[in-house]
Chains A and B, each alone.
Chain A
Amino acid sequence: MPAKSSACLLSAIVLLATLSRADAAPPESPPKPPAVAVTCVACHGQKGVSPMAGSPSLAGQPDIFLQYQLVFMRDGARDAGVMKAVVKNLTDEDIRDLGAYYAALPPPPPFKATGQVDEQKITALMQPRRCDSCHKEDFSGQGESARLAGQRPEYLVKALSDYRAGTRRGRGLAVMMEVSVTLRDEDMHMIATYLARKP
């Protein structure tokens, strides 16, 4: 019981700290897109916020996470589908530039996802899987772990299904397969809806 309340207090403090930092931050000039980013906008949006179903938002994703996915798709570790042709000729430098650019863009606003979210069920699904240990308590992601907050829900479902089926190769192969293999389709939909609505 005391452990729980101190954890709550801690997250309240973290939340406050985050809020006040966001308020105090001076307005920065928007990051300049590298030339190669021109091929990304049609599907991933002018500012990295995707307007297209099935296509993930990239804005505010961790730099390292973005770079890994581009490398894996370019080098054939991750089955890239339509992305294959787009990333084929990217150099390592292009990939570092794209990672830095999209990471610096303001993250997407909460997605207006339809669907039911039962808070109790969500806690029962997500707490034992320790999603926040890698993706952080606000699901903003870090390092190799993606930002989940505000992501398009159908894309989150696709990512989880691919991990469960073992078809998503590359980063997180071990841990994401273990956490997704016991999820049912309806669990994935509820988790995706919950995360998509997160600010």
Chain B
Amino acid sequence: MRQLKALSKACVVSVVVAALGGSMASQAQELKKYDSSTKAFWANPPADWFLGDETQDQKGLVPNAGQPTPTPAADLEKILANVKLPPGFKIGIWASGVPQARQMAMSPKGTMFVGTFDKGTVHAIVDQGGKKVVKPFITGLRMPTGVAFQDNALYVVDIDKLYKYDDPEANLDKAPQGKVVYDDFPPYVPHGWKYLVPDGKGWFFIPVGVPCNICLPPTSTAQYRRVNPATGSAELVALGVRNSVGGAVDPRTGDLWFSENARDWLSDDMPSDKLNHVTRLGEHFGYPYCHQGDTPDPKFGAERKCSEFTPPVVKLGAHIAPLGMKFYTGSQFPPEYKNGLFIAEHGSWNRKSKIGYRIVFISVDPDGKNPKETVFASGGWLDGQKILGRPADILVAADGSLLVADDQAGAIYKISYSK
């Protein structure tokens, strides 16, 4: 039965691929050729870095505009009232007025640090008499999306630099001078926003995205590195990674798992975004040659086989934009959640009808076998085609509840469980 199902699934996939291939062939002469072999080319990447393959039919699709100011608390309550969760779970506001909330990092003393996108600010959130106070802690950076707290220091990654702020809680009204502890990153801004994944041994896994939608990328990009902030040394961990802004280390094995955003402009339903698992150093995940483990790229796929590359553990869906993710290490939730993965779906822009804008849960064996995906939190953030919120990151709080950063509504939510 299972085999039959797998077989029919494979047939659907190959039909889709054949259909895509056909329409691609007719467009072939219109496809632009990039000569990305020279350094000069990458000093000024192509002007059409993300719109280059847009068809007339897709015209008008643009990345979501977001929201300049945070949603007031009263309106947040209305959004959260429409969020559906499994029985026993409830969601509430943990903090409002947190513009562009991206990656979160909590200090052992309970200070929350939150990155932003192009606002260039890292906010600090403290509890004052039961009320959350949001302070712009570090300002004037470019895209400080990734943050981490480790050994009494705050780490912030901003496009091409990893900063360290020692003893940040000594004075939360004035951040200490940041120290650059690693700067061997390429300067590209497109997909240059990053995420920090502590490896548990003092280093960070850090993604380096490609400065384009689909291209033969500069060799300094399309990868995960492991960086030692104490010495500034680094190693390559994974290759062929288009754009990852979320990852986590499996508490059972220490392996890196990461979410990956697949290319745009192929179609509404292809290719799928991915959940990947790194099992050996230097593994290649397929970009730009092969998408979702089984679909050759129309421009770059001809000379390679998909079997050369590591396929995803889970195809998460086309354009759903998986960002922040965490293994559930708490004990508040029912036992079936232990060591499973929560992934924030930021939601689609490159397809006509919006999908994503929710949180999924994936239980999976440590070796990547038996993955099972279920929708954990949905509704509320997408009202018809209107975007009211975008889950961007997830954190497991000390009490075992789940904190969710929303960079559209500018808020952090708390999801808790009681029988």
Contact = CB atoms under 8 A, between A and B. Distances in A.
Interface of A: 3, 6-7, 10, 64, 67-68, 70-72, 75-77, 92, 95-96, 99, 128-130, 133-134, 142-145, 169-171, 173-175, 177-179, 181-182
B54 A71 contact: no
Nearest to A66: B68
Nearest to A71: B68
Contact of B54 (A129, A130, A144, A182): A130
B50 A175 contact: yes
A174 to B, nearest CB: 4
A20 B416 CA distance: 54
A95 B69 contact: yes
Contacts of B136: 75
Contacts of B68: 64, 67-68, 70-71, 95, 99
Interface in B209-251: none
Interface string B60-72: 1010111111101
Contact of A75 (B46, B67, B119): B119
A77 B56 contact: no
Contacts of B51: 130, 133
Nearest to B32: A128
B59 A173 contact: no
Interface of B: 44-51, 54, 56, 59-60, 62, 64-70, 72, 97, 99, 118-121, 136, 139-140, 142-143, 189-192
Contact of B56 (A7, A68, A95): A7
A70 B189 CA distance: 23
Nearest to A99: B68
B140 A143 contact: no
Contacts of B46: 178
A143 B63 CA distance: 10
A145 B118 contact: no
Given A67-B68, A71-B99, A128-B47, A178 B190 contact: yes
Contacts of B97: 92
27 contacts: A7-B56, A64-B67, A68-B68, A72-B118, A72-B119, A75-B121, A75-B139, A92-B69, A96-B69, A129-B47, A129-B48, A130-B48, A133-B60, A133-B62, A134-B62, A143-B62, A143-B65, A170-B118, A170-B120, A173-B118, A173-B142, A173-B143, A173-B189, A178-B47, A178-B49, A182-B44, A182-B47
Given A95-B68, A129-B48, A130-B48, A77 B118 contact: yes
Nearest to A4: B56
Nearest to A62: B65
B44 A181 contact: yes
A77 B65 contact: no
Nearest to A176: B189
A173 B118 CA distance: 8
A65 B328 CA distance: 38
Contacts of B72: 92
B192 A169 contact: no
Contacts of A68: 68
Given A178-B45, A181-B44, A182-B47, A92 B70 contact: yes
A76 B47 CA distance: 28
B35 to A, nearest CB: 15
Contacts of A72: 118-119
Contact of A144 (B50, B65, B189): B65
Given A92-B97, A169-B120, A178-B189, 18 more contacts: A64-B67, A75-B119, A75-B121, A77-B119, A77-B120, A77-B121, A77-B139, A77-B140, A96-B69, A128-B47, A130-B47, A130-B54, A133-B51, A142-B62, A143-B64, A145-B62, A169-B118, A174-B192
A66 to B, nearest CB: 8
Contacts of B64: 143
A27 B121 CA distance: 43
Contacts of A143: 62, 64-65
Contacts of B143: 173
Contacts of A10: 56
Contact of A177 (B50, B99, B189): B189
A5 B44 CA distance: 32
A92 B68 CA distance: 9
Contacts of A145: 62, 65
Nearest to A69: B68
A168 to B, nearest CB: 11
A64 B48 contact: no
A171 B99 CA distance: 14
B44 A76 contact: no
A77 B144 CA distance: 12
The 4 A-B residue pairs with the shortest CB-CB distance in the complex, in nearest-first order: A143-B65, A67-B68, A92-B69, A144-B65
Contacts of B192: 174
Contacts of B65: 64, 142-145
Contacts of A178: 45-47, 49, 189-190
Contacts of A76: 120, 139-140
